[in-house]
Amino acid sequence: MTTADATLPADVRSARSGDRRARARLVVAALAVLVAVTGFLSLAVGATGFTPGTAARALMASLSGADTAGTLANVIVMEIRLPRTLLGLLVGAGLAMSGVVMQGLFRNPLADPALVGVSSGAALAAVMIIVAGGLLPSAFAVLPQPFMLPAAAFAGGLATTIALYRIATRNGRTSVATMLLAGIALGALSGALTGLAIYASDDQQLRDFTFWSLGSLAGGTLQKAVLTAPFILAALLAIPYLGDRLDGLLLGEAEAGHLGVEVQILKRVAIGLVALAVGGAVAAAGPIGFIGIVVPHLLRLVIGPRHRNLLLASALLGAALLVGADMVARTVVAPAELPIGIVTAILGAPFFLWLLLRQRALLDV
């Protein structure tokens, strides 16, 4: 609904918003199909060139409980591609939906899920584990080795978000502007400490950290997917209930308050859910950029700013895009693979620039 619509006759207006609702429904349905298709392709496509039929049979056999464990096709589909695909769907949906929430909360289309400080805190925790993990006597290692890094990344991300939230909240009111600035400061601090850890690291640790920071679904095991799912799913299921309140917030905090939105509670819940989703995503796959900005932005252009549809559509498109990017990452240089962060940035950055230029033309600034 643009302000220009207000001058139109009522019937035209309702027809327009009806159009838009119908279009949004159509887009959501189309995206749901896209997710299903991408998800299946992701199981059927990979460095090992067996046909989609073989993949489908391996999947069917496993689901029906036939004893096919250990055959190569079965291992590749069930133990390598399926966990990656599930993780990709979760992480992509989580990042994109978190992007919508952050942009609504900050009333800025360029807000990024990383603004809650999750990524910088997670990176700091990750580099500390990579560099100092070997120094910890095994008695201190609370968790088995493979889970130390994701757990630390998750905890580090959440701790940073809590710190940010505390800094930005005074007398029961959270200032998003303060949060943005404090986020920059905390990000710089995390960056400096990360630099310190990098300084103390050896060559191999440095490479491990570099690969981690580029993001990858390669570590996707079924365990990791199962462990990550509760955090991201909790956010994915809860965030849509915030949709109408986020719509109200678009008018401004005071106006939303007059509409009956509990602004302070909304902020707290939204930030908490985003931290859960992004924390889970970063812990499982490292920091992956652009999904959280590009997806909501693009969909706003197609179906408008109403959150109810936007959240759902963004989750679907984010999931499909990330799984698609992962397919590119693991086939384009086969038998090796690219870190997925490189793929999302190579595809995302030019697209994002195009969006910006297009918007400038529209606004004629």
Question: Residues in the site for other proteins, rule: CB under 8 A?
Answer: 46-49, 70, 72, 75-76, 79-81, 142-147, 151, 154-155, 158, 162, 165, 199, 202-204, 207-208, 211, 216, 218-221, 223-224, 226-227, 265, 268-269, 271-272, 330, 333-337, 339
Our CA angle for 129, 131, 134, nearest 5°, is 80
Dihedral class, residue 181 (left if φ above 0, else alpha if ψ from -120 to 50, else beta): alpha
C-alpha–C-alpha distance, residues 67 and 331, integer Å:
29
DSSP state of 76: I
Closest C-alpha among 218, 277, 231 to residue 83: 218
| Min separation Cβ 204 and other proteins, Å | 6
On the question of a cis peptide bond just before residue 339, with omega within 30 degrees of 0, the verdict is no
| Min separation Cβ 47 and other proteins, Å | 4
How deeply is 53 buried, as exposed, middle or buried, from its count of CB atoms within 10 A (0-12, 13-18, 19+)? exposed
| Min separation Cβ 166 and other proteins, Å | 9
Spatial contact of 322 and 295, defined as CB atoms under 8 Å apart: no
Nearer to other proteins, 44 or 316 (CB): 44
Nearer to other proteins, 212 or 290 (CB): 212
Closest C-alpha among 54, 33, 29, 40 to residue 323: 40
Neighbouring CB atoms inside 10 A of 333's CB total 11
| Min separation Cβ 140 and other proteins, Å | 13
Per-residue tokens: 133: 């993990």
| Min separation Cβ 239 and other proteins, Å | 13
Nearer to other proteins, 33 or 69 (CB): 69
| Min separation Cβ 171 and other proteins, Å | 15
Nearer to other proteins, 159 or 293 (CB): 159
| Min separation Cβ 298 and other proteins, Å | 30
User: Kind and range of the H or E element at 169?
Assistant: strand 169-170
| Min separation Cβ 320 and other proteins, Å | 21
| Min separation Cβ 310 and other proteins, Å | 23
C-alpha–C-alpha distance, residues 90 and 196, integer Å:
32
Closest C-alpha among 27, 9, 6 to residue 303: 27
Neighbouring CB atoms inside 10 A of 110's CB total 12
Q: At what angle do helices 10-44 and 307-331 cross, to 10 degrees?
A: 30
